[in-house]
Amino acid sequence: VSNIDGVTAGRARARPAVRRPRGTWLEIALFLAPAVALYAVFLIVPVVEAVRYSLYAWDGLGPLTDFVRLGNYREAFGDAEFRQAMGHNGILVALSLILQLPLSLGVALLLNRPLRGRSVLRLLFFTPYVLSEAITAVIFLQLLQPDGLVDAALRDVGLGGLVQLWLADTKLVFYTLFVVITWKYIGFAIILFLAGLQGVPSELHEAAAMDGASSWESFRFVTLPLLGPTIRIWAFLAVIGSIQLFDIVWIMTRGGPAGASSTMASYMIDQGVNSYRLGYATAVAVILFGICFVFSLLYQVLVLRRDVAGGTARMAG
């Protein structure tokens, strides 16, 4: 989960910057040193190394000698399997925005009404989000086995004709995974939108109603604009998450069969771990990072800029 800029950013900005010249350089250095050291060794170094490795043809064992310049990148962009994986990430982004957004917004609107048992429902919808990706993947692996619960349930209600090879049909498997991903992550969107809805004053709806607005108009012209910042942050997280998706795909299908459910990250790990092509795999990692980076920058500049109070605005520094 990236770009969380603090609940309190707004509150803090209300104060003037603290004026404190009193720390000596030594003191400042001592306070900063542990974080800088940890961060440099285990984050900066591997990322820089990734860029370096990506320029070599390398199996990860011998010395780095076979310098291929941008050869790994050229190969990746020309590789049908990698392009297929990129396409899957693209489909995932589109499906998340087109299907998950209305669904989660609808449920949030529903739960925002006075409703008996609302807090239980809220708790329930959030539960999948706290289960790990590994557990989610294993649960659905069992459910979706041939003759597993899903198949049996369909047959029991007389819809046996709909039974499919959910995880083995190359045309279907990626959409099966999308359903699993939605199950896992939709609760987060619902909670986020519910928090956003709390910030919409009911007086505005009353005013709109007095002006003769229908409930759709009230939603469209009052609720939706006020939820804008929350929706934009959610969309950012959903897109980044879709681009980086790995765990659920890897555990459920390893990206298969025949690459039919691969993502860029599963392709990368497959190349690195199973084919021992570390140079090439890190080139894929750098591409993956590059896509996230460009998207983050564009999103900051084009979309989030107007949400001045919104968290991520300052993220890119």
Partner 1 sequence: MSAAGTRAARTGARPFATAPVYVVGLALAAVVLVPIVYVALGGFRTNSQIAADPAGLPDPWVSHNYADVITAGTFWRQLGNSMIVAAIATALIVGVSSLACYPLSRMEFRGREAIYTFFTFGLLFPVAVAALPLYLLLHQLGLLESLLGIALPEAAFGIPITIIILRPFMRAVPVELEDAAAMDGCGHFGFFWRILLPLSRPALVTVIILSVITSWNNYILPFLVLTDPGHWTLPLGVANYSTEHSADTAGILAFTTVSMVPALLFFLAAERRIVGGLSGAVKG
Contact positions with partner 1 (CB under 8 A) in 233-272: 233-234, 237, 244, 246-247, 250-251, 265, 268-269, 272
Nearer to partner 1, 26 or 302 (CB): 26
Give Cα separations from 166 to 139, 170, 261 (angstroms).
14, 9, 12
For partner 1, which residue of 72, 93, 108, 133 counts as binding (CB under 8 A)?
133
- Give CA–CA dist 18/208, Å, rounded: 43
Binding to partner 1, residues 39-78 (CB under 8 A) = 39, 41-47, 49-50, 53, 60
Q: Which of 86, 58, 54 is nearest to 71 (CA)?
A: 54
Candidates 167, 278, 299, 300; binder of partner 1 (CB under 8 A) is 278
Quick one: which segment of 8-16, 69-77, 88-96, 169-177 binds partner 1 (CB under 8 A)?
A: 8-16
Min dist. Cβ of residue 308 to partner 1 (A)? 10
Number of amino acids touching partner 1 (CB under 8 A): 128
> Which whole-number Å values give the CA distances from 143 to 107, 146, 219, in the listed order?
25, 9, 38
- CB 171, min distance to partner 1, A: 24
Q: Select the residue interacting with partner 1 from 230, 253, 261, 300 (CB under 8 A).
A: 230
Between residues 174 and 236, which has the closer beta carbon with respect to partner 1? 236
Q: How far apart are CA 278 and CA 241, in angstroms?
A: 24
φ, ψ (nearest 5 deg) of residue 168: -115, -15
Q: Write out the binding residues for partner 1, residues 151-210 only, by CB under 8 A.
A: 151-153, 156, 183, 187-188, 191-192, 194-196, 198, 202, 205-206, 209
Contact yes or no for 242/96 (Cβ under 8 A): yes
Q: 187 and 126 in contact (C-beta within 8 Å)? A: yes
Question: Does residue 303 sit in helix, strand or coil?
Answer: coil
Select from 8, 158, 211, 212 the one that contacts partner 1 (CB under 8 A): 8
Q: Does 222 bind partner 1 (CB under 8 A)?
A: no
State which of residues 125, 178, 267, 299 lies at the interface with partner 1 (CB under 8 A). Answer: 125
- Cα distance between the two ends of the chain: 18
211 binds partner 1 (CB under 8 A): no
Three-state SS for 232-266 is HHHHHHHHHHHHHCCHHHHHHHCCCCCCCCCCHHH
| Collapsed DSSP state (helix, strand, coil) of residue 1 | coil
In the bound complex, what is the minimum distance in angstroms from residue 237's beta carbon to partner 1?
Answer: 7
97 binds partner 1 (CB under 8 A): no
